[in-house]
Structure 1
Amino acid sequence: QLLVEKELAYANYKVGRIPETAFAVIKEKCSPSVVKLERVKEIEKEIHHDLMSVVLAISEQCGEAGGYVHLG
């Protein structure tokens, strides 16, 4: 899922939907060394949605660029 979100951000950047700076942050943060499985599981317990748990865990790590995660 991390690779999918990274590629989605790239596609959105290429078509002008997100700024290059946001793509750069998302690209850097979409890594298992940054987005921890434990945090994804914590979020999933709260919201009961596996995909959105990953999206939210990535967004948490991206600061202001987090609003561009899973755009589209």
Structure 2
Amino acid sequence: HSTYKGALHMKDGIVDHEVGTRHIRRLGGLMSLVPITFTIAVIGSFSMTGLPPFNGFLCKEMFFAAVWAIRDVEAFS
């Protein structure tokens, strides 16, 4: 969780530094201005939504597996 959240917050700082504004109407064309940052933003966004094989999917899947394991242990107690 912290990996993709940290990457998305760092992306915000990079865009603000490179463009010099936070005004949404002036942020067009970022893909050509900062292509590596754009790629990291897309990967972070996919991870946040939980798409496989990104980190967010794995994180959510591990959480659900732990919940099911706890539920099964409590059922037999």
Same fold (TM over 0.5): no
**TM-score normalised according to structure 1 size:** 0.29
More helix by share: 2
For CA contacts below 8 A with separation 6 or more, give which structure has more relative contact order: 1
